[in-house]
Structure 1
Amino acid sequence: MSRMLSLRVILTVILLASCGLAQAQAPTGVDSLENVVKSSDLPDSVRLDALTRLSGMYQFVNFARSVKYSEDAIALAANTDLPLHKIKAYRNAALLYTISGDYSSALRYDNLALELDMVVKDSAGIAQEYNAIGNDYYDLGEYDDAYFYFTQSHRMASAARDTLRMLIALHNVGRVFKELGQFDQALDHLQLSKKLSETQNDQEGIPYGLYEIGDVLLRKHEYDSALATLRQALALVRKLHVDIIEPKVLSTMATAYLQQNDYKNALAFYDSAYALHQKTTNRYGMAEANLGRGIVLTKEGNFEKALEKFEASLSVARTLNARVLEIKAFNQLSGLWEQKGDFKKALFYYKQYKQLEDTLFSQETQGKLLRDQIRFETESRDTQIAALSQLQVMQRGELKKQEFVRNILVVVMALSAILLVTVYRSGQRRRKINTLLLQHQDDMEKRSEELERLNQVKDKFFSIISHDLRSPINALAGLLDLIDKGAIEPAEMHKHTQELKVRFNHTRTLLNNLLDWTLLQMDKLSLQAGRINLRKIVDENIQLLTSVQNKQINLVNQVPTEAIGYADSNTINLVIRNLMMNAIKFTNDGGKVIIDAKAQASEWLFSVKDNGVGMKPEVLNMLFDKTAPYTTRGTANEKGTGLGLILCKEFIEKNGGRIWVESEEGQGSTFFFTLPKAD
């Protein structure tokens, strides 16, 4: 299902209503506003407000007219210097594009509104636009970016004590967890935001919470509970006239009936959802409903009509850049052609499905989400620490005050020697206890930081393993399944075997890098420095890489025979191999990679130079950052994790050298590192 767009609509409608922009349909008001629009004697600000108000009035009455007024408002706003009126026009346009399912265009106008909110320094508007942009990325399947903007909205709302925006942000974070399959975390956020809606008397927020909770229960295969929750949501939607989410609730209920093999009800609910999406020309919603119809038709054995629905849904998904919907369409087409016995087409669509799914849920995306999640979940902990620090300052002030009073009493009661000694000893004991408490607190903080660092290493390790090991295993499983069914000719086996070979070579390199990287992070890797022949190491790696790489890359060893360094041979061998593999990855077929070394005073300057695609200046500063490994696909679509260069940096530094890179986009790259000379 697509995102719960009405949560963004709540804020838009509230703000429009506060300015008189969301009034109910009233003929007299409409006529007056249309007269204002036609008048050329009135200021642009008045006409711009009138156009925006008219667009809002017609949103659910005459959608085409609403779009026309919005376009006129945007055109007029472009020729004015009225930032607040422009913001209203941009928000209204983004809302209309969202209703129609064009999320890329909605994102464009939400970003324009955000830029102006930052210019006028409207913190409430910035928080609102962060939430809107998060929704746009959510609809486009960019869940890492969606999570970032939702949490940014929550931070700003929390700082401003804006409870409504805080609960909306929590709700949206729960939706991201839902799409990532983290259902328990999703339910925690969604139930909390629903409870806040109830306590804050936010009546319209309750059906949104019920809908998303029902969707999570459906994905957990708790069909009866899911349907009961969705029926509650549908009843409230119709009671409160929250028309926007009604087709989404209907589609989700249809999916629940489909899972229970109740095809009649499933098709009826999908048809109802499709009809409602048609009213607002929501192409995404109609494509999603068509996908559901196609699944029902496939279950009933009507393959030809099902194929029409799937292909129509796929076409719209590609037009709107809706990657989640595109993944679902590829998956259904693969299954359909397999049932029809055309295994070649089934394999084609399966590869498209896996490739897009791997891209959408890549290790880089998971890593970014993990970092954002840690920052968001520790935010409340930081607030508590700040409060404890403030309390500690107050306590210290109180101790100083007590000490001052005590000293006065000592002066006044100078003759009371016994009492003076008692007070003095009491103060000493208090200081000692406070010192011990502060030492204990410092020890606990250090242990907490160490545990968090080790936990991050573990999470990073397993997130990479869970993604990059899955791809070759899934590919092998798919190939074995097709071989078992007799769908692959003997002549095609070589091609598929080569593809699997490339995947497993990548996985083997990944495992070696991961294990070495983990040993480094845990300080378990010991180095044994000695004399190493750099030219011999390069020759061995050229022989190894020539046998496994598919490109026709010319590897040239210009390292002099007298190049003898003093370092750990195993780690330097890994560094040279990683740099050579990196150069091959970003060099086009037929290119050249030159490995050289030059003597400089007491060290060797080693270089790996390629004539590949090169890098932009802003990328150079990101390559060796171990807090956020940077990676991109090679010239032959090779994948990576970003750990190779981080390992190179740490290994070189542990061997007493330095590493850096020089590159120009389109002209290739040269990686340098230094090593001590052997005596």
Structure 2
Amino acid sequence: MDRPRIAPLTSQPTLYTMLPASPLTKCVFIPLCVLLLSPAVVAQQPATDSLQASLKAHPGKDTVRVNLLNQIARIYFTKDASIAETYGKEALQLSDSLHYKKGIVWATRNLALVENTKGHLDQQMQLTLTALKLAESLGDLPMRGVLNNDVGNIFTEQNSPRDALVYLKKSLRIKQQLNEKPEIGKTLNNIGSAYISLQMHDSAMYFLEKAEKIKLELNDQRGLAYTYENMGIIAMLQHRYDVALRYHQLSAAYYKAADNLPGLTKASLNLAEVQTMLGDMKNAERNLAAARDINSKLGNVKNEMIYYKIRYELDSARKDYAAALTNYKEFSERNIDYFNVEKSKQISRSQEQYESEKKQRENVLLKKEQQMHLATIQQQRVLVLSAAALFLALLLITVMVYRLYKRQQELYLELNNKNREVSLQNRIILEQNSTLENLNQVKDKIFSVISHDLRSPLAILEGLLFLLKDEKIDAQQFRLYTDELWRDVKNTAYMMDNMLQWASNQMKGIGVKADDFDVTQLLNQEFELLQTLARQKEVNLIHELNNTIMVYADPDMIRLVLRNLINNAIKFTPAGGEVVITARQEKDQAEITVRDNGKGIPPENQHRIFSNIYYSTTGTQNEKGCGLGLHLSKDFVERNHGRIWFLSKPDNGSSFYFTLPLAEEHDTTARGYTVVVQDHPVSGVSVLRR
């Protein structure tokens, strides 16, 4: 079938500056009433009614009924996907019972098209490839031409245009060989879609104009809808919005005439985007509402994402920046979800490919082993026959039996050696599998943090900077968001630091570089960095380390432990609360305490704090974390021969303790500092006391 190129989420300039002469110039201003009353459109509904009547009059369970069911399903898939799915399933079930392979091919293809309307491209690809394989076994050339075309369309929608062109050009050769002009026009259109994805607009227009010429000759109004939509997309990418508007108006009229709901949804979105660029806000709003209403029935996730993107552009053009920011967040969330879905699918495909390759390796080893056994058995047969033939000569028989025995022992020894080699290879494969599984867990955790915890604040910052850059929001309005943005970016930086330390620890290990250092001095260095976070939340931040405390540990690891514990305390302490850091020395150990009077940890979750289950909750001002900080802190403290624990009661705050070994030459006479960060009661200015 024809397939339009999905409208890009961002417009990019190209070198293409002018569309070639096209028959469009002769029909741009055709009234919509003429299109809606054309013979092909008027005849479409009676044709459907005629097929329905024929199906009702033919209750027999035979191939005639299968063909009627497939024809009706093909017509309904653009009108009502649920009805098309019902007829397709009945056709598939009946064809299977009749062993009618041609009916199975078309029923499977119709069910694949239904999955496309839902946006399920993986399911569509699986069904289409199944149908193509069966068509190839039947040697049905027309079927192969149609199904190769469908596979190419799916690759185009999955942003793999180079793979798409392989199948589309194969389909074109088959259809040209059969001289099927309607089908040739469809495939030419789809090749144009693939070249649009490759940013090769000259090549795309070449094939689209050839498709347009054929469809105009055949009066194929249904097919012209797809072609004009693709031409409109090229004009949009070149910022030639007047030309794009005319193409999309024609495309929308043809989609409406054919009652093609998925096509009408995309046409409405394209019109809304072009009208927004042209400043026609009223019509853009109307087309966006129409697209939303139609897509609510179809449930296509990608169309919903594009809707919020265009809604954001429309609100920005109206200078309604609050609504624009809200819609940009909606678009960003759906874009992240769509990215995660695509990522999961890609991981699933990689795992399936790995399992397939693993089975192939195992099969090769089994075949080699079988060949060795067969060779041994064959040799034994030869030896037995030889012994029977030489039975008359006792002495010769004795010599031959001895030689056969020695040969058999050598073969068994060789077989045992081969078996040991196979066992060794199996152990190596199992060890590699275990390593790959661990790396996959690290990769999945990193992808999860980047996708959910890091992309969201960056996406919001990007949206606000975009508005500021285009002077759609002034600096005074932007400053209203700076405190919240600063906190999000600071938390994001701490999360990124934790994630990188954890990933390095998991994938290649981190060596402990222990040395003598002063915990008090290290705390003062980190204290300056954390005071802004405390001041913003109006939390008093105090440390009471009055003496130099020399310990023997890795200073970089302990720096990260202190930062995580203090940052967590600030995160879960409300405004007006207090965070206090104290220390004491016992025998050969130093014990450091970070205490807060925040909301505490619920008893049912306390067992998860230092476990291997990555546990994270939002702070008192919705601060986020990646769930790695405390787990990493425990690992670093224990690597430095210390231990870490905590005490917590709900609504009474939490106290985290950890110990470190003291340095061998510890000076207890040196003085440290007591530092308090709090807001001045009169001026409101933060005061630092030591």
Which bracket does the TM-score occupy, shorter chain normalised?
A: 0.5 to 0.7
Q: 195, 209, 215: which one pairs with 2:193?
A: 215
| Distance (Å, rounded) in 1 between the aligned partners of 2:379 and 2:483 | 80
> Is residue 177 of structure 2 the alignment partner of residue 177 of structure 1?
no
Task: Evaluate the alpha carbon distance shift between residue 676 and residue 354 of structure 1 in structure 2; reply closer, same or farther with a 3 A threshold.
Answer: same
The corresponding residue for 1:33 is 56
**Displacement of 1:175:** 4.9
2:574–2:620 contact (8 Å) kept in structure 1: yes
The corresponding residue for 1:515 is 500
Q: 142, 145, 166: which one pairs with 1:191?
A: 166
Q: Find the residue that maps to 1:268 and give its secondary structure.
A: helix
Q: Find the residue that maps to 2:498 and give its secondary structure.
A: helix
| Distance (Å, rounded) in 2 between the aligned partners of 1:507 and 1:536 | 26
Query: Can you give the 5+ residue segments of structure 2 that lack an aligned partner in the other structure?
Result: 7-44, 92-103, 138-143, 389-396, 543-550, 582-591, 663-690
Q: Give per-residue Cα distances to partners, 1:198-242, cap 9 Å, x unaligned.
A: 889999998877655533421321112223444566788899999
Task: Evaluate the alpha carbon distance shift between residue 611 and residue 437 of structure 1 in structure 2; reply closer, same or farther with a 3 A threshold.
Answer: same
Q: Give per-residue Cα distances to partners, 1:455-513, cap 9 Å, x unaligned.
A: 75579758966997666666656655655665544533432322331332133123212
Task: Evaluate the alpha carbon distance shift between residue 317 and residue 23 of structure 1 in structure 2; reply closer, same or farther with a 3 A threshold.
Answer: closer
> Is residue 235 of structure 2 the alignment partner of residue 257 of structure 1?
yes
Equivalent AA in structure 2 for residue 357 of structure 1: S
**Displacement of 1:516:** 0.9
**Displacement of 1:446:** 6.8
Equivalent AA in structure 2 for residue 506 of structure 1: N
| Distance (Å, rounded) in 2 between the aligned partners of 1:129 and 1:552 | 59
The corresponding residue for 1:247 is 225
The equivalences for 1:369-384 within 5 A come to 369-384=345-360
Equivalent AA in structure 2 for residue 377 of structure 1: Q
2:73–2:87 contact (8 Å) kept in structure 1: no
Task: Evaluate the alpha carbon distance shift between residue 229 and residue 467 of structure 1 in structure 2; reply closer, same or farther with a 3 A threshold.
Answer: farther
> Is residue 310 of structure 2 the alignment partner of residue 312 of structure 1?
no
2:637–2:660 contact (8 Å) kept in structure 1: no
The corresponding residue for 1:368 is 344
The equivalences for 1:127-206 within 5 A come to 135=116, 138=119, 146=120, 149=123, 174-175=155-156, 177-178=158-159, 185-188=160-163, 191-192=166-167, 195=170
The corresponding residue for 1:277 is 255
1:134–1:149 contact (8 Å) kept in structure 2: yes
The equivalences for 1:304-343 within 5 A come to 304=281, 307-308=284-285, 311-312=288-289, 315-316=292-293, 324-332=302-310, 335=313
Equivalent AA in structure 2 for residue 291 of structure 1: L
The corresponding residue for 2:361 is 385
Q: Find the residue that maps to 2:480 and give its secondary structure.
A: helix
Q: 388, 394, 410: which one pairs with 2:370?
A: 394
| Distance (Å, rounded) in 2 between the aligned partners of 1:406 and 1:230 | 71
**Displacement of 1:270:** 1.2
**Displacement of 1:539:** 13
Q: 241, 244, 252: which one pairs with 1:266?
A: 244
| Distance (Å, rounded) in 2 between the aligned partners of 1:555 and 1:124 | 72
Q: Find the residue that maps to 2:399 and give its secondary structure.
A: coil
| Distance (Å, rounded) in 2 between the aligned partners of 1:207 and 1:646 | 61
**Displacement of 1:423:** 3.6
Task: Evaluate the alpha carbon distance shift between residue 586 and residue 386 of structure 1 in structure 2; reply closer, same or farther with a 3 A threshold.
Answer: farther
Q: 477, 481, 488: which one pairs with 1:492?
A: 477
Q: Find the residue that maps to 2:53 and give its secondary structure.
A: helix
Task: Evaluate the alpha carbon distance shift between residue 646 and residue 326 of structure 1 in structure 2; reply closer, same or farther with a 3 A threshold.
Answer: farther
> Is residue 66 of structure 2 the alignment partner of residue 88 of structure 1?
no
Q: Give per-residue Cα distances to partners, 1:128-169, cap 9 Å, x unaligned.
A: 99967864652xxxxxxx466568769999999998999799
| Distance (Å, rounded) in 1 between the aligned partners of 2:573 and 2:227 | 50
The equivalences for 1:575-654 within 5 A come to 624=612, 641=626, 647=632
| Distance (Å, rounded) in 1 between the aligned partners of 2:523 and 2:408 | 74
1:591–1:612 contact (8 Å) kept in structure 2: no
Q: Give per-residue Cα distances to partners, 1:323-372, cap 9 Å, x unaligned.
A: 5445445544555666x6x6x53575266335523542357546534422
Q: Find the residue that maps to 1:525 and give its secondary structure.
A: coil
**Displacement of 1:88:** 3.2
Task: Evaluate the alpha carbon distance shift between residue 271 and residue 484 of structure 1 in structure 2; reply closer, same or farther with a 3 A threshold.
Answer: closer
**Displacement of 1:255:** 0.8
Task: Evaluate the alpha carbon distance shift between residue 355 and residue 613 of structure 1 in structure 2; reply closer, same or farther with a 3 A threshold.
Answer: farther
| Distance (Å, rounded) in 2 between the aligned partners of 1:414 and 1:161 | 64
**Displacement of 1:415:** 1.4
Q: Which moved more, 1:224-233 or 1:515-524?
A: 224-233
| Distance (Å, rounded) in 2 between the aligned partners of 1:608 and 1:189 | 60
Structure with more contact order per residue of length (Cα contacts < 8 Å, sep ≥ 6): 2
| Distance (Å, rounded) in 2 between the aligned partners of 1:32 and 1:148 | 32
Give the RMSD, CA atoms, in angstroms: 7.0
Equivalent AA in structure 1 for residue 56 of structure 2: L
Equivalent AA in structure 2 for residue 293 of structure 1: L
| Distance (Å, rounded) in 2 between the aligned partners of 1:124 and 1:642 | 50
**Displacement of 1:521:** 2.4
| Distance (Å, rounded) in 2 between the aligned partners of 1:151 and 1:61 | 20
Equivalent AA in structure 2 for residue 226 of structure 1: A
Q: 328, 343, 348: which one pairs with 1:353?
A: 328
Task: Evaluate the alpha carbon distance shift between residue 234 and residue 635 of structure 1 in structure 2; reply closer, same or farther with a 3 A threshold.
Answer: farther
**Displacement of 1:578:** 5.7
Q: Find the residue that maps to 1:361 and give its secondary structure.
A: helix
| Distance (Å, rounded) in 2 between the aligned partners of 1:387 and 1:425 | 27
> Is residue 400 of structure 2 the alignment partner of residue 416 of structure 1?
yes
The corresponding residue for 2:19 is none
2:513–2:554 contact (8 Å) kept in structure 1: yes
| Distance (Å, rounded) in 1 between the aligned partners of 2:560 and 2:308 | 40
Task: Evaluate the alpha carbon distance shift between residue 677 and residue 636 of structure 1 in structure 2; reply closer, same or farther with a 3 A threshold.
Answer: closer
Aligned residue-pair number: 563
| Distance (Å, rounded) in 2 between the aligned partners of 1:376 and 1:367 | 14
2:69–2:87 contact (8 Å) kept in structure 1: no
Task: Evaluate the alpha carbon distance shift between residue 444 and residue 633 of structure 1 in structure 2; reply closer, same or farther with a 3 A threshold.
Answer: same
Task: Evaluate the alpha carbon distance shift between residue 149 and residue 34 of structure 1 in structure 2; reply closer, same or farther with a 3 A threshold.
Answer: closer
Equivalent AA in structure 2 for residue 372 of structure 1: S
Q: Find the residue that maps to 1:526 and give its secondary structure.
A: coil
2:4–2:230 contact (8 Å) kept in structure 1: no
Identity %: 22
1:554–1:592 contact (8 Å) kept in structure 2: yes
**Displacement of 1:276:** 3.1
Equivalent AA in structure 1 for residue 267 of structure 2: A
